[in-house]
């Protein structure tokens, strides 16, 4: 299970259950100021690079960290691409975070409101 919250100027992604098991992470957190952009991302196909650590079932599930030539991404998505959001970061260990959330439009709006304050 994954919970995304905004608290004290930070975006927090808490992982438990299967999400924790598949990604081998309890969560991520980063300052709102490091978010360069956030958008719906059904066009993304799959992560590229070496999975370290993480899990993948081609076309069905991508969960964990992918690295390639100095680029680092975190993915936690299943098959429902219409619920995928991409968060591009600057000044963070991750360059991109791709998540599947229940209500992507509401989360994008919440992140954009936090970025403006």
Q: What is the pLDDT of residue 107?
A: 97
What's the CA gap between 31 and 54, in Å, rounded?
24
For the chain, helix, strand, coil in percent to 5 are 20, 50, 30
Q: What is the pLDDT of residue 33?
A: 96
User: What is the layout of strands, in order, in the sheet containing 71-77?
Assistant: 35-40, 84-89, 96-100, 71-77, 61-68, 50-57
What is the number of structural domains in the chain? Answer: 1
- CATH assignment at residue 33: 2.30.29
Q: What is the pLDDT of residue 45?
A: 84
List the pLDDT tens digit at each of the 117 positions of the chain: 899 999 999 999 999 999 999 999 999 999 999 999 999 998 888 898 999 999 999 889 999 999 999 999 999 999 999 999 999 999 999 999 999 999 999 999 999 999 998
What's the CA gap between 94 and 53, in Å, rounded?
14
Domain holding 55, by residue range, is 2-116
Contact 2, 15 (CB under 8 A): yes
């Amino acid at each position: 299970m994954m919970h995304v919250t905004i608290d004290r100027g930070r975006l927090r992604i808490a992982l438990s259950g299967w999400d924790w098991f598949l990604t081998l992470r309890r969560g991520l957190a980063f300052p709102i100021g490091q978010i360069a952009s956030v958008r719906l991302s059904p066009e993304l196909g799959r992560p590229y690079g070496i999975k370290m650590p993480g899990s993948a079932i081609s076309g069905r599930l991508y969960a964990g960290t992918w690295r390639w030539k100095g680029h680092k991404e975190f993915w936690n998505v299943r098959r429902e691409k219409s619920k995928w959001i991409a968060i591009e970061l600057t000044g963070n260990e991750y360059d991109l975070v791709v998540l599947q959330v229940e209500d992507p439009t509401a989360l994008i709006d919440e992140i954009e409101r936090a970025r403006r304050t």
